[in-house]
């Protein structure tokens, strides 16, 4: 979901950049006419979103400034020199993979580079690009700032981790957490003498930690000296330090920035040490099962084969391969007709299910501010075209998965106090259907059972009439339209037990929840141990009684950090398992690299562009249920689309499924390797690795590409899916 909040008080709103900059956007229910009252209602909800967007823009501006300081890149735009394109000039210090980062940022924003002049002298770049939008037009001046920020973010060489922009930048508690050095030091002192095979690595890691700690101490001492010198500093009415008192404000800001960077480097070194110690303690080849105590209450008896349960549809048969069949811009054309033409190709590639965009009338064109649930005329096409698409999808042997947005619903009319709380259409609810803590909408229902969503009325799922109506609608989508499964949007907004009611009452063939929770960070660096993060996702699945799977945001966060930072030691947990949800409940983990929120033109939390091949090599050969992003499947650049097709074939051919067993063979900075079901071995990263020891040729290379390779075992049984 994009148009609201992912965590209480945290911005998750997104609009077209033109609207965020103050331009009007026209939103309507498919081909139907929008009344003046509906326009007022739309502007109200979009105003709420716009306020959040502006708050996030201020955060982005600060992030861009700090990124500019770190990367020392000057980015300028010119629409006057060339009437057919925007001239983008980039000047500054050269960096590794700078050109790849810049062009990748352009691609993520759907910008086309017509040609470029690349020049490097004495460690500095002076690059000039001729760029157009996807429609072949110049980049509007109002969008220059956001493009600049995106490029700077892509090129940032800071040691601080990328975090979802959907949360602002990071929760305050995450920024202020401190991990005592004494803890890591005591671990090192206690364990270092006992390590035999990894002595060299530990020695190097310890030296890195020592140097990083010394660097941080030096900066802290400099700041302490500055603080003493600033004891008499006056502050003007706007809170600015006065230079006349002998304190250089720019110097202080530079020191503070250096301290944050040094703390991030130290935290990264500590994470590397933690991973080394965990690897030393882990029994080799521990299977992906995990004790039930890790999953909390209700776990007993759930684990059948490597973490599967026998209750509910969850991710389907275990052999599902899902395609997210849309992106953030798909609403700008008749998308249903596009997919009708592509359905045969998707089936031939090996997908088993297509995740479709929200099908209902919506205040926002992407569908994530739903209004009349039974009106199935949307920006993607009308109801007749939707019915035809579902029919075609199923004729190809594929499942059609609907995007279900029921955390909130936009009203049709205002009450006498101007609050949008009167609903129209077949589900003509009043303010009893709105949670009572939604004061701005005059809700009189019970308190919200999950996180608040400020942009629209939060539905009170405790009301029996709401439950009955939503179940009736889901069954209409299933029985009349023909949908096979549900993808539940923003499930943090209401209790998991209600999701179970809707699943039990509609009996889909598969069900997946979007439980997007922020990973754990310290000093701006992703923690090595993300057990608490994945546990929260598992707990939500438990609330549904195991009837729903969930997108594995833990795996995404760790995998993109591992690939982007050359820290593939992150890809094994303290017990030798994959570190995401897939490591403790694989049959309920839907793995993915990108979606319309994190990537596409939004780019809220993008996967490193140069590491996409590695990412797909990982999720398409590992347990869990993989979900491929539409944009990546059709990406010709660097052969990514072709690589995905080959990996899909391997997964199908050798019967890799959601409960496949993984043996992690290597997990170091430049190389991760794993054996899956003793049929397939995968390696990602630039480091050397081969499964063929002592010159043997037991394993045959069947697929390779940028920083990845996959082998199959000679004589391994070729699998035919049921």
What pLDDT score does 190 carry? 41
Distance CA 151, CA 38 (A): 38
Catalytic residues: 489, 514
Number of Cβ atoms within 10 Å of the Cβ of 351: 25
In order, the DSSP letters of 162-187 are: P--GGGSS--HHHHH----HHHHHHH
- Nearest residue to 708 (alpha-carbon basis) of 657, 625, 638, 654: 638
The more confidently predicted of residues 556 and 98 is 556
pLDDT score of 13 more than 60: no
Of all residues in the chain, what percent carry a pLDDT higher than 70? 75
- Region 458-479 average pLDDT: 98
Given CA atoms 272, 273, 277, 278 in this order, what sign does their dihedral have?
negative
The predicted pLDDT at position 116 comes to 84
Contact 322, 401 (CB under 8 A): yes
Looking at residue 54, what is its pLDDT? 36
**408-433 confidence digits (pLDDT tens):** 999 999 999 999 999 999 999 999 99
pLDDT winner (highest mean) among 25-29, 267-271, 600-604: 600-604
Cross-strand pairs, 667: 672
CA quadruple 191, 194, 195, 199: dihedral, nearest 10 = 90
Greater pLDDT, 8 or 243? 243
Contacts of 710 (CB under 8 A, 6+ apart): 617, 621, 647, 650, 680, 681, 682, 683, 701, 702, 703, 704
For CATH 3.30.70.260, the residue range(s) in the chain are 74-156
Name every residue whose Cβ is closer than 8 Å to that of residue 252 and which is 6 or more positions away in sequence.
223, 226, 230, 241
Q: What is the pLDDT of residue 97?
A: 61
Residue 167's pLDDT is what? 37
In this structure, the number of other CB atoms found within 10 A of the CB of residue 317 comes to 16
Higher-pLDDT residue of 45 and 265 is 265
Helix (H, G, I), strand (E, B), or coil: what is residue 434?
Answer: strand
Fold of 322-660: TIM Barrel (3.20.20)
Please indicate whether residue 156 or residue 136 has the higher confidence score (pLDDT): 136
Which pair of structure tokens corresponds to residue 159? Answer: 């040691």
pLDDT for position 460: 97
When the candidates are 3.30.70.260, 1.10.3720.10, 3.30.420.40, 3.40.50.12170, the CATH number that belongs to 74-156 is 3.30.70.260
Q: What is the mean pLDDT of residues 69-98?
A: 81
Average pLDDT, the chain: 80
Pairing of strands 699-705, 708-713: antiparallel
The CB-based long-range contact list for 301-305 (8 Å cut-off, 24+ gap) reads 302/546, 305/659
Contact 306, 318 (CB under 8 A): no
By the 10 Å C-beta count (0-12 exposed, 13-18 middle, 19+ buried), 568 is classed as: buried
Give the number of other CB atoms < 10 A from CB of residue 364: 29
Higher pLDDT, 171 or 540: 540
pLDDT of residue 169: 30
For residue range 321-380, list pLDDT tens digits in order: 999 999 999 999 999 999 999 999 999 999 999 999 999 999 999 999 999 999 999 999
Provide the pLDDT for residue 211: 84
Q: What is the pLDDT of residues 379-413, one digit of tens each?
A: 999 999 999 999 999 999 999 999 999 999 999 99
Q: Which of 121-125, 127-131, 182-186, 690-694 has the lowest mean pLDDT?
A: 182-186
First to last CA, the chain: 33
Structure confidence by residue, pLDDT tens digits, 43-82: 455 444 444 333 333 333 333 334 334 446 889 999 999 9
How much is the pLDDT for 285? 38
Kindly report, as residue ranges, where domains of CATH 3.20.20.80 are found in the chain.
Answer: 322-660
- The pLDDT, as a whole number, for residue 378 is 98
Higher-confidence position of 225 and 57: 225
Q: Supply the pTM of this predicted model.
A: 0.74
Q: What is the pLDDT of residues 681-722, one digit of tens each?
A: 999 999 999 999 877 889 999 999 999 999 999 988 776 554
To the nearest whole percent, how much of the chain has pLDDT over 90? 56
For residue 60, the model assigns a pLDDT of: 34
C-alpha dihedral (648, 652, 654, 658), degrees to nearest 10? 90
């Amino acid at each position: 979901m994009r148009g609201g909040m992912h965590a209480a008080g945290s911005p998750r709103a997104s609009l077209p950049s033109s609207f965020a900059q103050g331009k009007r956007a026209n939103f309507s229910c498919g081909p139907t006419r929008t009344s003046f009252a509906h326009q007022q209602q739309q502007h109200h909800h979009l105003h709420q979103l716009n306020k959040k967007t502006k708050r996030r823009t201020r955060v982005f501006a600060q992030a861009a400034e700090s990124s500019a300081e770190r990367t020392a890149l000057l980015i300028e735009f010119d629409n006057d020199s060339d009437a057919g394109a925007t001239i983008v000039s980039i000047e500054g210090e050269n960096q590794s993979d700078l050109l790849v980062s810049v062009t990748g940022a352009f691609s993520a924003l759907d910008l086309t580079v017509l040609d470029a002049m690349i020049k490097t002298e004495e460690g500095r770049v002076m690059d000039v690009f001729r760029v157009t939008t996807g429609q072949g037009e110049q980049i509007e001046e109002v969008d220059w700032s956001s493009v600049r920020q995106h490029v700077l973010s892509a090129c940032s060489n800071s040691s601080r981790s990328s975090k979802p922009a959907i949360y602002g930048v990071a929760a305050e508690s995450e920024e202020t957490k401190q991990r005592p050095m004494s803890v890591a030091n005591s671990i090192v002192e206690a364990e270092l003498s006992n390590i035999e095979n990894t002595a060299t690595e530990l020695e190097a890691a310890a030296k890195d930690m020592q140097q990083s700690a010394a660097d941080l101490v030096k900066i802290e001492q400099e700041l302490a000296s500055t603080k003493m010198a600033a004891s008499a500093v006056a502050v003007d009415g706007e809170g600015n330090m006065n230079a006349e008192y002998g304190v250089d404000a720019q110097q202080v800001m530079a020191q503070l920035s250096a301290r944050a960077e040094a703390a991030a480097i130290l935290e990264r070194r500590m994470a590397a040490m933690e991973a080394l110690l965990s690897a030393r303690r882990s029994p080799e080849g521990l299977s992906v099962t995990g004790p039930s105590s890790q999953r909390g209450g209700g776990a007993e008896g759930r684990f059948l084969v490597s973490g599967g349960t026998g209750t509910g549809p969850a991710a389907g048969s275990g052999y599902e391969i899902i395609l997210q069949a849309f992106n953030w811009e798909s609403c700008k054309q008749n998308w249903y007709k596009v997919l009708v033409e592509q359905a045969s190709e998707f089936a031939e590639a090996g997908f088993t299910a297509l995740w479709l965009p929200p099908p209902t009338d919506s205040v926002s064109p992407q569908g994530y501010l739903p209004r009349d649930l039974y009106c199935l005329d949307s920006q993607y096409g009308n109801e007749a075209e939707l019915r035809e698409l579902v029919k075609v999808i199923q004729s190809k042997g594929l499942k059609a998965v609907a995007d279900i947005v029921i955390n909130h619903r936009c009203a049709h009319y205002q009450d006498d106090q101007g609050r949008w709380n009167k609903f129209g259409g077949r589900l003509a609810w009043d303010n009893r259907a709105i949670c009572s803590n939604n004061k701005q909408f005059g809700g009189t229902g019970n308190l919200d059972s999950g996180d608040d969503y400020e942009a629209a009325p939060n539905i009170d799922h405790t009301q029996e009439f709401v439950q009955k109506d939503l179940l009736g609608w889901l069954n209409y989508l299933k029985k009349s339209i023909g949908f096979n499964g549900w993808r539940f949007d923003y499930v943090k907004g209401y209790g998991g037990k209600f999701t179970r009611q809707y699943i039990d009452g509609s009996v889909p063939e598969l069900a997946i929840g979007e439980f997007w929770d922020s990973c754990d960070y310290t000093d701006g660096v992703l923690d090595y141990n993300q057990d608490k993060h994945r546990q929260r996702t598992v707990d939500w699945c438990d609330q549904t009684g195991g009837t729903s799977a969930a997108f594995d945001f833990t795996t995404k966060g760790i995998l993109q950090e591992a690939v982007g930072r050359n820290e593939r030691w992150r890809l094994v947990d303290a017990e030798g398992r994959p570190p995401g949800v897939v490591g403790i409940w694989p049959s309920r983990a839907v793995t993915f690299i990108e979606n319309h929120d994190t990537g596409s033109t939004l780019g809220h939390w993008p996967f490193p562009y140069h590491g996409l091949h590695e990412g797909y090599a990982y999720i398409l050969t590992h347990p869990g249920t993989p979900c491929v992003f539409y944009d990546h499947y059709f990406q010709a650049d660097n052969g990514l689309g072709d690589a995905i097709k080959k990996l899909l074939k391997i997964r199908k051919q050798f019967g890799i499924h959601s409960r496949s067993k993984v043996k992690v063979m290597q997990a170091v900075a430049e190389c991760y390797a794993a054996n899956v079901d003793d049929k397939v071995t995968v390696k990602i990263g630039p480091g050397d690795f081969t499964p063929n020891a002592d010159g043997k040729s037991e394993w045959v290379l069947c697929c390779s590409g940028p920083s990845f390779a996959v082998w199959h075992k000679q004589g391994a049984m070729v699998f035919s899916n049921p």
